[in-house]
Amino acid sequence: MSFFQCYLSLFIAFFSVLGDGLANGQWHTRAGHKKTVPYSLTITVDQSGHGNFQKIQYAINSIPSYNMHWVLIRVKAGIYREKIVIPRDKPYIFLKGEGKSRTQVVWGDHDNLAQSPTFASSADNIVVKAIGFTNSYNHPVNKNPRAPAVAAMVSGDMTKFFRCGFYGLQDTLWDHQGRHYYKHCTIEGAVDFIFGGGQSLFERRIAFAHKEVEVLKDGMTLTGIAGISDPCRPGVTDAVKDLQNAGVNVKMITDDIFTAKAIATECGILTPSSGEVIEDVKFRNYTPEERMKKVDEICVMASTSPSDKLLMVQCLKRNGLVVALAGNGTNNTLVMKEADIGVFMGIQGTEVTDESCDIVILDGNFASIPKVFKWGRCLYSSIQKFIQYQLTTSFACLIANFVGLFLIPSAHTNSSTVVVGTVDCRNSGLSSICHREARKRSHEKATGVQDRTSHHQHHAQEHLASNPLSCSSPLDNSNR
């Protein structure tokens, strides 16, 4: 084998391994933190017939087996009465609904654990967002005998759920095997509503359990109501007030709309008299003219993707505003580049995020942003004052030079010397003063000293001629 063939083989092997790593190792970056690379295919499911398919399972079946590129399946709002099965040979699927209460999949199977799930996924690298899954067999309305009825069964590796809902009564979520991630998910059930041997992480989940009784007796007293609070960090409310007093319009772009409303109201971004709360679907469906009119009135936008953030930043910039975006995720990379100022919160950023942002706030505290504006405006004001000073003094020197050159021809040499000396002293300090004095002495030696010496010699000759008895000259007396 020649050297060229060996080098080409190593080159192909290297990029094969690199491509496999991008396809498998970076599933968290590609799918988990929203879309950072384009999808190879986008399929729309709509019950009204305006999409590619009317059922979700038909869309899944249309994907080629052993697909190695991400496929996005957009599921429009509605109640889909079907069973969804993702087989092992259908990886890299992103199911995206329009909210777990608006996009629901309902089925009522109960034969056994393996057959009963409304949603069953055996493939690796699956992402599901904003969809609710319900097994309706044990619903009291159906009056069926209680039996295991699974809402979702997950057995593939590297599967993620964002803002999804799992509703049932017995054996609701079967976390069978593999590594799974659940964020902002609602899980409801009574008996073993989460079970299985999966290695899963539940972040900010909400789990409900209930028990049915035959008859609700009279005279029962409400014991209490429990709620989950996600308070603002200390100093955020004051920071928002400081920014608003400084003329900064603060907007919140986040995930869940109900959490966004509560936090925005608490910290002062959303008030009853002003501001509008909107979801990404509504904002995306606006016409360009409507979007440009309403973008200034929006205070909170929820359920957003990176493309929605980018669209809002572009609209604000077209309205002539200076946009600063604060974020802490790699999904904000493109939006930070588009914004006039990218502010990264925290020190956990990747190299890509550090390159795309302009300012890094190390403590990750929103209360530090007013300090950034304070010092930034102070620096901007100082630059303005310095430029004003430079222009004023330079213009005055130009006027003096012009007057000396054209209006007072006899003072051409002296005026030029004074102007140059003034500019040098102002810009260079003590060294320029010494330089000016040296030039002045050399100028005097070359011109003025010779003239005074010849004048004194001529005067001394006249004095000796009129007083021959004098033994000294005025020049000697002056020297003494």
Could you list the active site residues? 192
Q: With b meaning 16 or more CB within 10 Å and e meaning fewer, what string describes 170-197?
A: bbbbbbbbbebbbbbbbbbbbeebbbbe
**Token digits of residue 282:** 């509504």
Place of tokens 């360009």: 288
Torsion-angle region of 264 (φ positive above 0: left; ψ -120 to 50: alpha; else: beta)? alpha
Q: How far, in whole angstroms, is CA 311 from its chain's centroid?
A: 13
Residue 154, SS3 per DSSP: strand
Q: Nearest Cα to 270, choosing from 248, 299, 292?
A: 299
Label residue 338 exposed, middle or buried (CB < 10 Å: 0-12, 13-18, 19+): middle
Q: Residue 64 to residues 61, 93, 102, 340: CA-CA distances in angstroms?
A: 8, 11, 29, 42
Beta-sheet strand order (sheet of 71-75): 41-45, 71-75, 93-96, 126-129, 159-162, 179-183, 199-203
CA atoms within 13 A on the CB side of 381: 6
CA separation for the pair 371, 242 (Å, rounded)? 10
